[in-house]
């Protein structure tokens, strides 16, 4: 028997024996309890590895509709505070309120390694550590490499997109963009994670 359903049960989540799917009394109960669940699994492979295991279980169980991007924890990385604020406000308008910010890649890496992030939005062109370099660091780290990444690019920067894809970026969004476009881009990445 898979250990994860037992862990979910331990934290007060029932499990449908026919489908092996966590059943929540509220829409996002399971996801809201992920930190407690992840910490219980952390001794096996670290908090980030535990979060990934839990996320993969949700994907396999088909519970993504109940989890949703609005319950994810975002890290927005950009060297311009105005851009960070705009993106944070757009995310809030989409129902995503768990958002933290970093002013460059060097600041972002230790934040990511402390764990619990679910999604990274990074500007491709930053002072200091470039966005592409941050992506490479994330993909090279065993505990972070699973994180979905949306890269913000300047209009017409095809070379940046090519390098980003090679580095492992999941999706791109060109400046300037609206909340509707951001929602579409996040949705496409989110759907791709279920395949």
Give residue 115's pLDDT: 76
pLDDT score for 6: 41
Using CA atoms, how far residue 131 sits from 115, 168, 180, in Å, is 19, 12, 23
Q: Which pLDDT band holds residue 7 (cuts at 50, 70, 90)? A: very low
Residue pair 97/74 in contact by the 8 Å Cβ criterion: no
In tens, the pLDDT along 135-186 reads: 999 999 999 999 999 999 998 888 999 999 999 999 999 999 999 999 999 9
pLDDT reading at 66 higher than 60 = no
Band of pLDDT at residue 194, cut at 50, 70 and 90: confident
The three-state secondary structure class of 158 is helix
pTM of this prediction?
A: 0.69
- The token duo for 87 is 């993106």
Report d(CA 160, CA 138) in Å as an integer: 17
What tokens appear for 136 in the block?
């490479």
* Strand ranges across the sheet with 119-123: 99-102, 74-77, 119-123, 149-153, 171-174
What is the spatial distance between Cα 161 and Cα 152, in angstroms, rounded to a whole number? 10
pLDDT value of position 69: 83
């Amino acid at each position: 028997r898979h250990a994860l359903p037992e862990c979910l049960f331990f934290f007060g989540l029932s499990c449908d024996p026919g489908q092996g799917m966590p059943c929540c009394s509220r829409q996002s109960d399971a996801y809201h309890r992920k930190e407690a669940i992840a910490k219980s699994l952390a001794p096996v492979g670290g908090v980030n590895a535990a979060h990934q295991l839990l996320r993969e279980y949700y994907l396999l169980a088909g519970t993504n509709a109940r989890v949703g991007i609005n319950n994810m924890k975002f890290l927005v990385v950009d060297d311009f505070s105005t851009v960070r604020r705009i993106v944070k406000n757009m995310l809030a308008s989409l129902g995503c309120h768990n958002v933290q910010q970093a002013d460059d890649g060097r600041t972002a890496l230790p934040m990511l390694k402390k764990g619990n992030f679910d999604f990274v939005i990074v500007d491709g062109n930053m002072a200091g550590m470039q966005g592409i370099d941050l992506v490479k660091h994330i993909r090279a780290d065993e505990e972070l490499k699973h994180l979905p990444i949306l890269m913000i690019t300047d209009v017409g920067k095809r070379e940046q997109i090519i390098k980003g894809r090679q580095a492992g970026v999941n999706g791109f969004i060109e400046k300037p963009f609206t909340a509707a476009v951001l929602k579409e881009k996040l949705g496409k990445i989110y759907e791709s994670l279920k395949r």
